[in-house]
Amino acid sequence: TIEGAYTRSKSTLLRAQDYTGSLFEVAVGAELTLGQNLVIDGNNNWTFDIVLYSAALELGLNADDDDAFVFSADNSPVGKADMILNKGKLTVSCRVQNSLIPAGHLIGAYSNSVTVLENAEIIHCANKTNGVIYSASIGGQTAQQLIINDGTLIHGNYGGRNGGLFHAQATNNTVVMNGGEIFDN
């Protein structure tokens, strides 16, 4: 849990094989900047067999994306919580890769939080529900904001059953795209 201003760069954070919880939590009123020389690696080199999944859909079968995920044989970690819980201000300017969180998100946004993607690269991340990259809570009177700025690349990701990279669950949540590229997801 980060409770004040904090900046970290020039390192790789690799999820341990036996760890499935959140990697960061930004508390209400706190700020966290994940700098450009940082790599956050979920340590799961999953693949998705789109041919298998599409064939089941074409046959009219009740295709389940669980059957189409292929995991590596090395006991890669599967997250069970949002990778980053943001209740404050989060700036992501690093590379985030190789994450599989079946029912969570890379960034879970709560409590009037602001998330800024600035020169970030998000690649090879997946979940099986919705909002693989970002999900803003319903949260009653709170309003979460996601801002995507120039230099951000979001590609090679998979969002499951409800699809989508971003999920803003209430009318007071906003996603603003000032620049960047989103492709091949």
Which one, of 160, 169, 103, lies nearest residue 135 by Cα? Answer: 169
Digit-coded pLDDT (tens) for 51-79 = 777 776 676 655 555 566 665 556 678 88
Amino acid 45: pLDDT: 82
**CA triple 75-39-174, angle to 5 deg:** 100
d(CA 88, CA 25): 9
Contacts of 167 (CB under 8 A, 6+ apart): 105, 130, 131, 134, 135, 136
Digit-coded pLDDT (tens) for 156-169 = 888 766 667 887 77
